A and B are shown apart, each in its own frame.
Chain A
């Protein structure tokens, strides 16, 4: 039987990265926690190869991203018609999000309030726009890759990302001015 102690350290080291990826893609913390748990269980099943591997973090990020995309795909057809409506209904509801203490000087460029504002704005974007934007800016995927993964046209990806940026800009105008654009 494998010793779980190193795996526990692995979970603690990567849990924030996995949870961030999942919560930004899914826009729902409870679902993100479920997906994060699944990603770590998969990592445990491949622990013999992952333990001590320098690519373990990348592997975990890719698995998390794919699990999120599968999760979204599974519910897309069923809830597509209603999810965007519900999101618009939630517009007025302000939710407090948690943030890790900044550990580099660069992260101090955004204040805590600005970070909360951005994460909240991200979560409130329509699903198609949020997913495309997160894949482009956080996962460093290009338009063609995103279109392939989401099985939509290149034009739709570009439009979704452009609209998402515009929506973010509108919601974050004060934050934008203070970081200097």
Chain B
């Protein structure tokens, strides 16, 4: 049913009539000077210090070509020499050592966590998760409150 109740219709008409009578709210006196000051600052900044999107079109095109040229040249120079590179087993082991140590620690921690999970009752887990979630939302709420205070005092 899309038909509106007569009272609803009257309310809609009243709201429309009332709201449409509202004049525009005057902008704060600071708005126009803010906009113009920002434009003046923008105009003083040389093109190469502006965001890339605001560069003149020909410089944008030139920069894309230049970038493609550099990437192409570097790739062209490096790819053949990569084939020629060979690493000794000792050097490779030296490089991999810190990674393998970290991996060992991580896998031990993972095993401990899985053991703990298997031997813990599900209701204990639920409580722990609940506490963690409430801590998270408390932090979020506190952040929101701080943000509102800061935003309202701007």
Which residues of A come within 8 Å of B, CB atoms? Answer: 1, 4, 7-8, 11-12, 15-20, 23-24, 28-31, 33, 36-37, 40-41, 44-45, 78-79, 81-83, 86, 97-100, 102-103, 106-107, 109-110, 115, 118-119, 133, 137-138, 162, 165-166, 168-169, 172, 175-176, 179, 181
Contact = CB atoms under 8 A, between A and B. Distances in A.
B23 A41 contact: no
Contacts of B148: 82, 86
B27 A110 contact: no
Interface residues of B, number: 38
Given A133-B19, A137-B20, 15 more contacts: A11-B36, A16-B25, A19-B27, A30-B151, A33-B34, A36-B31, A37-B34, A40-B35, A82-B144, A86-B145, A110-B21, A137-B16, A137-B19, A169-B15, A172-B18
B62 interface: no
A115 B21 CA distance: 9
A11 B32 contact: yes
A15 B30 CA distance: 11
A175 to B, nearest CB: 8
Contacts of B38: 37, 41
B19 A118 contact: yes
B25 A99 contact: yes
Interface of B: 8, 10-12, 14-28, 30-32, 34-36, 38-40, 43, 54, 140-141, 144-145, 147-148, 151, 154
A165 B27 contact: no
17 contacts: A4-B43, A19-B31, A29-B28, A36-B27, A41-B38, A82-B148, A86-B144, A100-B23, A100-B24, A100-B26, A106-B21, A115-B22, A118-B18, A165-B15, A168-B18, A176-B14, A176-B18
Given A82-B141, A98-B26, A179-B17, A8 B154 contact: no
Contact of B21 (A19, A40, A107, A176): A107
Contacts of A8: 32, 36
Nearest to A115: B22
A23 B25 CA distance: 9
